[in-house]
Structure 1
Amino acid sequence: MNASRWSGWAVPASYFSMVLGLTGLGNGWRVAARLWGWPAWIGEAVMTVAVAVWAVLVIRYAMKWLVARQEAAAEIAHPILCCFVSLAFVATMLVGLGIAPHAPGIAQGLCVAGALGALVFGVWRHGGLWRGDRDVKATTPVLYLPTVAANLVSAIAASALGWPEWGQLFFGAGVIAWLALESVMVARFLNADPLPLALRPTLGIQQAPPAVALLAYASVSIGPPDLIAHMLLGYALVQSLIVIRLLPWIRQPFSLSAWAFSFGATAIATGTMRFAERNGDRVFTTLAPVLFVVSNVVVIGLAIASVVWLLRGKAPAAAAPAR
């Protein structure tokens, strides 16, 4: 195989964040169809696009290991970029949930493979970090991905497949990992040098842990929204407002890294809608349509910007942030 001919197919693992945003929006439309009677075909159409994007990215990421192995190995060894690799497993689980109504057997296989892969990668990656000797400047919100995002999505997947007890195990792992990392992250923001421009879009991930935890809690629990649900929603809203306040500081020429904002935006909306389905809690029923509209604006805006970005012929591979 002529490696140079195919090297342009190589993509960074961070591109899988597009799948997270698209499946998140598709799932939101599925809930909207149940909750408000909105068109069900929209959710299925968005899920179809998400599956197609995932398939393309899986092929191109696999090609990276075949024709640009040195680049792929450098990414997985990088103190920041390595954490994005977990998105491949998370995206696989979410695609499994996307096709579950149509192909439950395949969905189960994808979810199990994604959950096991994410668990192994998270243990390996964070186990390596515990050895120390790491620059504090490498601490960014991407650290949430291998243990927080992966475990919370595993909780959602396990519950959706009818294994709520296993989902609760993953929920506990994800929430406690988030709480442990949150203080580390805020201490870095307050006391270390400001994030360099290239890394500022990763702040979009900062709003995701409480939002995804809310959605996961809706998946592993029953009954109307309780104190924990209100707490998770409240903190997710505050984190989102802080990120919005920082947008002028974060803003830079568009790249696909902006999809970091998508999963948190869709998760908080869908989690709120899931709880709004259960009873007449006025907090959740009031905020659900507002947050759902916002999530649509975020994902549709990112999708349009991404198409324009690609049509302009931007290079598919993003430069690695400085160590």
Structure 2
Amino acid sequence: MNLPRLRLPIVPASFFGMVLGLVGLGNSWRAAHAVWGLPSVVGEVLMLAGGIVWAILVVLFAAKWLAARDLARDEANHPVQCCFIGLAGVATMLVAMALEPYARVLSLGVFAAGAAFTLGFAVWRTGDLWQGGGRDPAHTTPVLYLPTVAGSFVTATACGALGFADWGRFAFGAGLLSWLAIESVLVHRILTAPQMPPALRPTLGIQLAPPTVGAVAYLSVTSGPPDLVAYALVGYGLLQILLLARLARWIFADGVKASAWSFTFGLTAFATAMVKMAGRGDTGPALVLAPFAFALVTALMAALILWTLRLFLAGRLLPAAPAPRPAVPEPPAALAERS
């Protein structure tokens, strides 16, 4: 008797961004609980939800490499999509931070796995980029931040949360200088190359992440009242928020899809940084703006979570499955006839 084969969905690596948004918001609520005494259960439920999504995505990502290796290799070799693979390690480190209050030994193991994957992927991907090869400017988008900048900043944040702030300072430096180098390339592309096609425009949401995630990383590996560096990072993040808000209609010309999660890690990091600055003794703008930033980001995230659930229930969350490769290359005549 032949049993039907179970077909798992082919999930792109970019879906790990959902883990970043959920755990990032949970981290904001943890900070708000510590500073303002808000209910701790909200942050812990968000952390749990992020952990569940992470576990599902890890299984599906591994299954893709086992059952649909051609598609997995295509993603790994794609000039844009491949950078999202780095989010697997970043998401794993965030899950380690979520676990830390409950199971420190397990948390350290999960962190070590995530950090090793993140560093290995960053070195592999950056090594490919350094070889050159006539890269198309259209492929230069903020996803380039993900391997080295996001990976290094989250490594620093996790090191601070797990009690290794001195090691985290190395990671912060790697992320900061990588960000400054890559940002100049991206801004040059945005100002001089042709306009981004609608499908790539949501990647601009990642532009918000370096300054705000960097601010959280900086606060995680330092102590005392927030200084000029913390203010500078959050200030640049605020400027990015205003620019992205001004471009929102253009960015989402194709509608709000799962790609909108590219905004969430930067947004939640902005709220977390503001709350932490208020909790670290700031008596100026951060103290005034933190409650508004926290409330606004929470509301935006709630709306996106509900919208994502609606897309999932309607069967429109996953991208269309790519056409299978032909087993034998088609002759030129057949290709010409089909086109």
So what's the TM-score if we normalise by structure 2? 0.91
**d(CA) in 2 for partners of 1:317, 1:5:** 22
The answer to whether structure 1 residue 164 and structure 2 residue 176 are counterparts is no
1:222 aligns with 2:223: yes
Q: Please list the CA deviations of residues 58-91 of structure 1 after superposition, one character each: whole Å capped at 9, or x if unmatched.
A: 1111111111111001101100000000001000
> SS in structure 1 opposite 2:211?
helix
SS at match of 1:196: coil
Instruction: Answer yes or no: is the 8 Å Cα contact 2:258–2:317 preserved in 1.
Output: no
Letter in 2 for 1:12: P
Q: Note the alpha carbon deviations across 1:82-117, whole angstroms, 9 max, x for none.
A: 000000100000011011101111111111111111
Is the Cα contact below 8 Å between 1:265 and 1:294 reproduced in 2? no
Decide whether aligned partners of structure 1 residues 192 and 319 sit closer, same or farther in structure 2, where only a CA change above 3 A counts: farther
How many angstroms apart in 1 are the aligned matches of 2:9 and 2:32? 37
Q: Distance in 2 between matches of 1:147 and 1:137?
A: 20
What residue in structure 1 maps to residue 121 of structure 2? 121
For 2:183, the aligned partner's letter is E
The structure carrying a bigger helix percent of its residues is: 1
Counterpart amino acid of 1:182? E
The Cα of 1:315 is off from its aligned counterpart by 5.7
Provide the secondary structure at the position in 1 that maps to 2:199. Answer: helix
Q: CA deviation at 1:318?
A: 5.5
Deviations 1:166-186 (A, max 9, x none): 100000000100000111000
Shift, 1:29, TM fit: 0.6
The CA distance in 1 between the partners of 2:310 and 2:188, in whole Å, is: 37
Cα shift at 1:7? 4.6
Q: Which residue does 1:62 correspond to in 2?
A: 62
Q: Equivalent residue of 2:224, what SS?
A: coil
Gaps of 5+ in 1: none
Which stretch of the first structure deviates more once superposed, 209-218 or 8-17? 8-17
The answer as to 2:184 corresponding to 1:183 is: yes
Aligned to 1:108: 108
Task: Give structure 1 regions of 4+ aligned residues with deviation exceeding 3 angstroms.
Answer: 4-8, 317-320
1:279 to 281, 284, 305: 281
Q: RMSD over aligned Cα, in angstroms?
A: 1.5
Whole-Å Cα distance in 1 between the matches of residues 183 and 52 of structure 2? 34
Residue 194 of structure 1: aligned partner: 195
Distance 1:195 1:6, change over 3 A: farther
Between the two structures, name the one with larger relative contact order (CA 8 Å, sep ≥ 6): 1
Aligned residues: 318
Match of 1:304 in 2: 306
The percent of aligned pairs where both chains have the same amino acid is: 49
Contiguous gaps of at least 5 residues in structure 2:
323-339
Distance 1:318 1:231, change over 3 A: farther
Name the counterpart of 2:328. Answer: none
| 1:229-240 pair list within 5 angstroms | 229-240=230-241
Letter matched to residue 76 of structure 2: I
